[in-house]
Amino acid sequence: MGIRLDRQTDREGARVLIPIGDLDRDAVEPLSAAVGEELAGRPARLVIRMTHVPFCDSSGIVMLLDAHADATGRGIWLALADVGEHLRGLFRLSALDRVVPIIEEPPHGR
Amino acid sequence: MADDAHGEAVTSLPIGGNLSELRERTRDFLTPAKLGERQEANFILAISEAANNVLDHARTPGVLVLRRYADRVVAEISDEAGTLTDPRAGMTAPEVGSRRGYGLWLMRQMCDEVEITSGPAGSTVRLVMRCD
């Protein structure tokens, strides 16, 4: 089953993308397209909420680096939120967390 | 799948387009092994990375052979193209922000043993995770 995507605007006005499923090679295209659509809307901030991503591999890491670079190039702040313990370890090991901000969302912001 | 009296088992899975199904079937096979939750997640990531390499580079059929023993699990990912020839590939971390070079590096970080072999019949990556 492919990745699904929900979208929201949080209380502070940031756009929030919520992928649901594994962030692997098959998810790169749909998630990249969704990020592209969101960035085209020129929000001040774009958050990718990782709550429902149980798995991410190197395809996902590269996709997230590209999304961050694309956002930054357009002057848009992009961050990952609600990253689980296993993915946190992966993002530390791959040094993704030295490039892409990882934030804690306030519980009331959901 | 064959299970012998010692609880050892082996299964062979084709590496096709859909890796989420491959991970699901791998997870099912690993369930009886005494791997911790983190170990299982790490092993499945490593297998997925090896399968990515086959799909990215080999462009020929690949196969995953899983073996379950009392004290360890082993995954052998093979392809006929034999594009993976450097036994020391993935020994160094990719640079910060790199867009490539994560696959074998992650396999080596995730598993207890990683061995790359290549020959006329193709390349094989052998991943070993010891049970706690």
Mean pLDDT, rounded, for A49-70: 97
Domain annotation covers residue A11: yes
Residue A87 lies in a domain: yes
Chain A residues touching B49 at Cβ < 8 A: 57-58
- The predicted-structure confidence for B1-31, as pLDDT tens digits, reads as follows 455 555 589 999 999 878 999 999 999 999 9
Q: What is the CATH number of the domain that holds B59?
A: 3.30.565.10
Nearest to A57 among B18, B38, B52 (CB): B52
In a domain, A9, yes or no: yes
Nearest beta carbon to residue B19 from set A25, A86, A94? A25
A65 touches chain B (CB under 8 A): yes
Q: Residue A98 falls within a domain, yes or no?
A: yes
Q: How many domains does chain B have?
A: 1
pLDDT tens digits for A28-58? 999 999 999 999 999 999 999 999 999 999 9
pLDDT band of residue A109 (cuts 50, 70, 90) is very low
Contact A94 B100 (CB under 8 A): no
- DSSP output for chain A: ---EEEEEE-TTS-EEEEEES-BSHHHHHHHHHHHHHHHHT--SEEEEE-TB---B-HHHHHHHHHHHHHHHHTT-EEEEES--HHHHHHHHHTTGGGTS-EEPPPGGG-
Least reliable range by pLDDT among A45-49, A63-67, A89-93, B17-21:
B17-21
The domain that contains A87 carries what CATH number?
3.30.750.24
CA nearest A62 in B: which residue? B99
In a domain, A108, yes or no: no
Q: How confident is the model at residue B124 (pLDDT cuts 50, 70, 90)?
A: very high
The number of domains in chain A is 1
What per-residue confidence (pLDDT) applies to B82?
73
pLDDT band at A65 (very low <50, low <70, confident <90, very high): very high
Quick one: pLDDT at residue B97? 97
Cβ A93–B106 below 8 Å, yes or no?
A: yes
Within a domain: A24: yes
Chain A nearest-CA residue for B45 = A57
* Containing structural domain, residue B112: 2-130
pLDDT per residue as tens digits for the range B51-93:
999 998 877 789 999 999 999 999 999 998 877 888 888 999 9
Among B48, B99, B106, select the one facing A24 at the smallest CB separation: B48
ipTM: 0.91
More confident residue, A106 or A110: A106
Q: Does pLDDT of A78 surpass 50?
A: yes
Residue ranges making up the domain that contains A54: 4-103
**Which pair of structure tokens corresponds to residue B67?**
């073996």
**Do the Cβ atoms of A58 and B99 come within 8 Å?**
no
The pLDDT-based confidence of A107 (bands split at 50, 70, 90) is low
B44: nearest CA in chain A?
A: A55
